[in-house]
A and B are shown apart, each in its own frame.
Chain A
Amino acid sequence: GESVGLHLPTLSVQEGDNSIINCAYSNSASDYFIWYKQESGKGPQFIIDIRSNMDKRQGQRVTVLLNKTVKHLSLQIAATQPGDSAVYFCADGYSSASKIIFGSGTRLSIRP
């Protein structure tokens, strides 16, 4: 069915270290995935996306990796900063651009 899930509800990292947030999905037909960042009291904000014909996509300080064999994707944040503290969601956009299904989220906290 249509579902995405996250391995851990919380992640704590040292400022300056790299963060890795993982996500599993179950629908083999999924062909598009998105990562969102949600700060407290705000709506989600698009970070980066990846299509199923790609294994890796890089943005500014972020990299998304997609492993279709095990239906797993990850978001890597380089040199984590205090401003990266937020809840991160992976989402499955396979159906259409408006029907995007969200996973449950991982809360990233930064240790000084």
Chain B
Amino acid sequence: NAGVTQTPKFQVLKTGQSMTLQCAQDMNHEYMSWYRQDPGMGLRLIHYSVGAGITDQGEVPNGYNVSRSTTEDFPLRLLSAAPSQTSVYFCASSWGHEQYFGPGTRLTVT
């Protein structure tokens, strides 16, 4: 199994641009989540999903959209990038409470 994969690994955006961070898992996990991690900080939950077609907001959802059309994929969309969204983004999946994290996407917004 590849586990949780994220693309791209690195991305630089200009303010106002939009993009989609991809996340996929091949473990048939029902639960998937997106987190952001700022330097020297913990992870903050952006959005999460308990199954295909079901998503909900986490702690910091503003500026981000998600969808879950399949069990495997959980893309995160930035509608209009802002410098405050510069961060490392982690996707995670789980069947129970043991989450498996992807390697992260480092995003810089200039």
Residues of chain B contacted by A29 (CB below 8 angstroms)? none
Would you list which residues of chain B between 31 and 52 have a CB under 8 Å from chain A? 31-33, 35, 41-45, 48-50
Specify the chain A residue showing the minimal Cβ separation from B95.
Answer: A97
Assuming A89-B43, A105-B42, is B103 touching A99 (CB within 8 A)?
Answer: no
| CA–CA, A45 and B92, complex, Å | 10
Write the nearest CB–CB distance from B71 to chain A, whole angstroms. Answer: 13
Evaluate whether A43 and B98 lie within 8 angstroms (CB atoms) in the complex, with A98-B49, A99-B45 already known. Answer: no
Max chain B CB contacts within 10 Å: which of A42, A44, A98, A101?
A98
From the candidates A49, A100, A104, A105, name the one contacting B33 in the complex (CB within 8 A).
A100
Please determine whether A46 and B42 come into contact, CB atoms closer than 8 angstroms: no
Tell yes or no: B75 within 8 A of A by CB.
no
Interface secondary structure of A, over-half rule: loop
Interchain CB contact under 8 A, B48 and A89: no
Q: Which of B42-81 contact A (CB under 8 A)?
A: 42-45, 48-50, 56, 58-59
Judge whether A93 and B97 touch: CB under 8 Å. yes
B81 vs chain A, min Cβ distance (A)? 22
Q: Does B20 contact A (CB under 8 A)?
A: no
| A97 near B45: Cβ-Cβ < 8 Å | no
Provide the residues of chain A in CB contact with B96, threshold 8 Å.
Answer: 97
Q: Which 10 A-B pairs have the closest CB atoms?
A: A43-B101, A98-B31, A98-B48, A102-B42, A102-B43, A104-B42, A46-B98, A97-B97, A97-B31, A93-B97
| Residue ranges of B at the interface with A (Cβ–Cβ < 8 Å) | 4, 31-33, 35, 41-45, 48-50, 56, 58-59, 90, 92, 94-104
Cβ contacts A to B, 5 pairs, < 8 Å: A34-B99, A43-B90, A43-B101, A97-B96, A100-B45
